[in-house]
Structure 1
Amino acid sequence: MKEVFLKACRGIRTDYTPVWFMRQAGRYMPEYQKIRQKYDFLTMCKTPEIAAEVTLQPVKVLGVDAAILFSDILIPLEAIGLKVEFIEEKGPRVSPNIRTVADLKFIGELNLEKIDFVFEAIRILIKELNVPLIGFAASPFTLATYVIEGGSTKEFLNTKRFMFLEPEGFHKLMSLFTSATLKYLNEQIKTGVHAVQIFDTWAGILSPFDYEIFVKPYVKRLIESLKTVPVIYFSSNTAGLINHLKELNSDVLSIDWRIDIKDATDLLKDQPLQGNLDPLTLLGTEEELFKRAEKVLIGARGAKSHIFNLGHGVNINTSVDKLKKLVDFVHEFKFMEG
C-alpha cells in the first residue's frame, strides 16, 4: 500500500505532496452517473458492492493518494432511531426533529447492526485498494444541525434557538451525538480504515464564544478518543475560529479557502495541514487553476506536512480531465531550492 498520505498525516515530510479530494467519489464522474441512473442515492449508500465500486472509481481514474468511503454523514441517524430521506433537488430530510430537551426521547443508542452495510463496504475495499482508505463522520454539532432543522438551512434559526433557550438540553444532545459518533468511527477503524475525517461543515455559523462553549469540548473528546489512526478535522468558514482549531490536537487540520494557507501555517505551528484550493477554481482555465494550486503548495511549505485538497467538495460541474491534470500537477510540483 502506498504510504505517502499516511506519512503526511503523521507530520512526516514526503517526496511529493499527497492529494485527494472531498467528494471525489461523486456526481461529476460519468462512471458514477451510470450507476446513479439505476439506483437512488440511499440505495447506493446501503449496497456495499455499489458503495465500494463508487469509492474505487476516482482512485482508478485520477490517481489520488487516498480513497474516502462513499457514504453520507447522515447515515448513522437511522441507527439511533431517526428517519432519513433524500429528496431530489431538495436534499436531505430528517425526522422527527429534535428542538427541545423533551425531544431527546426520540434518540436511542447507536445500533451498529442497522448500518452494517457501511462496514461491509469497508471490508470489500480493504481487499481491493492500494492506497489508504479514509472513513468519516459528521461532527456532533453538524449532525445536530440537520436533526434540529430537519434538513439543510441557511439561517440555523432552530439550532440557535435550542442552543440559547435550553443550553443544558443542547449540551445533552451534543453529548449523545459525541458518544454515537465515537462508536461509529471506532467501528470503522476496527473494520480497517486507515484514517478518519470529521466533517464540521457548519461550525462556521458560530461565534468563537459559542464554538468554545458548545462545540469545542465535544470535538476534543472525539479526537482524543480516536488516536489509533490519524484524525483529520475539517471545518468550513472558520478562519475566525483559528485559535480554537489549533487547540483541538487533530493529527491534521483541513482548512477551506477563506484563509490564506501561508497565514494558516504561520498561525498553526507544528500542525499538519490539508487544503485549501477553492473548488470552483476548477471551473476556470488551466492556467488560472495551476497558478492557484502553486500558490497553495508554496504557501503550505512552512507547515509540518501538507496534504493537497480542496477547501470543500468537488463541484458537480468539474471536468474529470481537469481534476486528473491537477493531481498530476501536484505530484510533479518541485519546490525551488533556497
Structure 2
Amino acid sequence: MVDGIAAPAPDKSLLAVLRGERRERPPIWLMRQAGRYLPEYRALRAEKGGFLALATDPDAAAEVTIQPIRRFGFDGAILFSDILMVPWALGQDLTFGVGEGPKLAPALVDHALDALAAVPERLTPVYGTVARVAAALPAATTFLGFAGSPWTVATYMVAGHGSRDQEVTRSYAYRDPAAFAHIVDAIVAMTIDYLSAQIDAGVEAVQLFDSWAGSLSPAQYDRWVVAPNRAIVDGVRARHPGTPIIGFPKGAGGKLAAYAAGVAPDAIGLDETVDPAWADAILPPGLPVQGNLDPLALLAGGEALDRGIDRVLAAFPARPHVFNLGHGIGQHTPVAHVERLLARVRTER
C-alpha cells in the first residue's frame, strides 16, 4: 500500500483462465516441467540420491518446483511430487529402483487392503514443500497441486507396479468388484484430504491425473473413472469452493464429453491424441481446456513444433485455454525447444 492506496492484485493469468476467463494469449505451463530434461534438476537429484529422498525433502522439492519458473517464467508452477504418495500414505511400501519404475508392496492383488496400516504423516513433507513454494513464487505465478485419480492409483496398488495394459487390475476389478471398490473408496477419501491439505498449505488450483483412463470399457469407465473422480471433485469443492480443479483423463477419447459432464471439473485436460477442434465442438461452451501439444513434437522441434503449436492455438477461438502438452515433457527434450515454444505461444496472435 502506498499513501493509503492498495497495490493492484497481481495478474494471475492461469488462475483467471481456470476460472473461466479467456485470454488472447493463453497462459502456459507444462506437465513434468520440473524434471529430468533440466540440468539443474539432474544435479539436485544426483545429490539427494534418489527420487523419494528428493520428493520428501521439502527444501529440495521446493527448489525443484521453482526451477522451471526461474528458468522459463511459466504462468503456473506444479508441485514436485508423485501420484503414488497416496498409496504410500495408505500403508504400502514405495520404492523407486534405479532404471526401474516405482514399486508398491505388498501388491493388493493378493493382499487385503484392511491388513495395511495407514500412515498419513508420510504426506507431511509434501505440505512443507507447498508452504515453501507458496512463499517463494513470483506474485503472478499460479501454484498447482495434484493427485492421481483413483483408477490410475489403484492400478499400481493392485499390481504393485505399472503396466501398459493394466491387465492385472482390470481382471481384479471384474473378478471381485466389491474388494476393488473398497480400494477405490480408500483412495478417494485419502485424496480428498490430501488435496484439501495442499490447498490449505498454499496451492491455488489442483489437477487430477488419470493416466490410464483410456484402458477401460465404457461401463467400467463410468464406475472406476467417472464416479470416483466426481466424488473427489465434490469433496474438495465442499471444503474449498473457490479452488479450480482440472481433470485430466488421458486416453478418454470419445468419452471426453461424458467425463466432463459426469465429473464436472472446472477445467479439462486434453491428451495429444485428441483433435483439439473436435474437443472444442463437443465440450460444454465456456468450459476451460488445457493442452494438448504432442510431447514428441516438442522433442522434435523445428517446423513440426511450430505447426503443432499453431494448430492448438487456432483450435479454441472463443474458449478459455491453457496451453500445455498432451502429457509430460520427455526427459530428452532440449531446453532450446522449450524456449522456442514459449516464444511462439506468447507472441503468435
TM-score past 0.5 threshold: yes
| Alignment gaps of 5+ in structure 2 | 1-9
Letter in 2 for 1:308: F
Tell me, yes or no, if structure 1 residue 197 matches structure 2 residue 207. Answer: yes
**Which residue is 1:181 aligned to?**
191
Q: How do 1:284-323 and structure 2 match up within 5 A?
A: 284-303=300-319, 305-323=320-338
Mapped partners of 2:91, 2:304: distance in 1? 47
Mapped partners of 1:171, 1:97: distance in 2? 16
**Which residue is 2:142 aligned to?**
132
Give CA-to-partner distance per residue, 1:57-108, whole Å, 9 cap, x none.
Answer: 10111121000011111122222211000011111010011126x6121344
Q: For 1:114, which of 112, 122, 142 is the aligned residue?
A: 122
Mapped partners of 1:288, 1:299: distance in 2? 17
**Which residue is 1:249 aligned to?**
264
How many Å apart are 1:110 and its aligned residue?
5.5
**Which residue is 1:73 aligned to?**
83
SS in 1 for 2:30: coil
Letter in 1 for 2:217: S
Q: Normalized against structure 2, the TM-score is what?
A: 0.92
Q: For 2:298, which of 282, 288, 292 is the aligned residue?
A: 282
Mapped partners of 1:187, 1:81: distance in 2? 19
Mapped partners of 1:181, 1:198: distance in 2? 10
- With 238-247 and 256-265 compared, the bigger mean Cα shift is at 238-247
Mapped partners of 1:268, 1:28: distance in 2? 33
SS in 2 for 1:276: strand
Mapped partners of 2:24, 2:317: distance in 1? 13
Structure 1 segments (4+ residues) deviating >4 Å: none
**Which residue is 1:265 aligned to?**
280
SS in 2 for 1:37: helix
Mapped partners of 1:207, 1:78: distance in 2? 28
Mapped partners of 1:79, 1:184: distance in 2? 10
Give CA-to-partner distance per residue, 1:232-278, whole Å, 9 cap, x none.
Answer: 01121111322321212101100101111110010002211000010
**Which residue is 2:344 aligned to?**
329
Q: Identify if the C-alpha distance between structure 1 residues 42 and 2 changes in structure 2 by more than 3 Å, giving closer, same or farther.
A: farther
**Which residue is 2:60 aligned to?**
50
Mapped partners of 2:167, 2:63: distance in 1? 39
Letter in 1 for 2:266: D
SS in 2 for 1:135: strand
Q: Is the 8 A contact 2:149 2:210 kept in 1?
A: yes
Mapped partners of 1:211, 1:126: distance in 2? 35
Q: Is the 8 A contact 1:265 1:302 kept in 2?
A: no
| Alignment gaps of 5+ in structure 1 | none
Q: Normalized against structure 1, the TM-score is what?
A: 0.95
How many Å apart are 1:307 and its aligned residue?
0.2
Mapped partners of 1:22, 1:106: distance in 2? 35
How many Å apart are 1:2 and its aligned residue?
3.8
